[in-house]
A = this chain, B = another copy of it.
């Protein structure tokens, strides 16, 4: 787009593609920030390079915007046709409790399991079990170590 007009199509040269991705991603984040500032808007940008690297930007935070996206989906579904039966399962106390406990971390079990077949339900049950195991393990760890578990973030260097 500059020294020479560039075509809007896949860049074949890998290194060039990477450079372009970085520059344009930065530009995107910058513009998003300006938009939010000038218009008191909220926005998030989620990007994944071809190599699989992920970069996110959000105002006021990625977290909150994504959460809002979900909330919005559930209320304003612009799904045409009937959906009276879509979200079906009443949220049991268990789910409420989870939301209560993990609220800040967005949890949403608001979909019914009715459309899953036996095999899938089995896989799902196993997956849930694993999560429970994780919770139990976490509890065990606290018991073992006293209780000062600091979060460890991998350095982005």
Q: How far is the CA of A45 from the CA of B69 in the complex (A)?
A: 10
One complex includes copies of this chain to the number of: 2
Are A111 and B120 touching (Cβ within 8 A)?
no
Query: What mask results when residues 16 to 36 of chain A are scored 1 for a CB within 8 Å of chain B, else 0?
Result: 011011001101110111110
Other 15 A-B pairs with CB < 8 A, given A82-B153, A93-B130: A57-B81, A58-B83, A59-B82, A62-B81, A82-B156, A85-B151, A87-B105, A94-B129, A97-B123, A102-B111, A105-B111, A106-B110, A118-B143, A122-B139, A125-B139
Query: Which A residues are within 8 Å of any B CB, using their own CB?
Result: 6, 8-11, 17-18, 20-21, 24-25, 27-29, 31-35, 37-50, 53-66, 68-70, 72-73, 75-89, 92-95, 97-98, 101-102, 104-118, 120-132, 134-136, 138-139, 142-143, 147, 149, 151-156
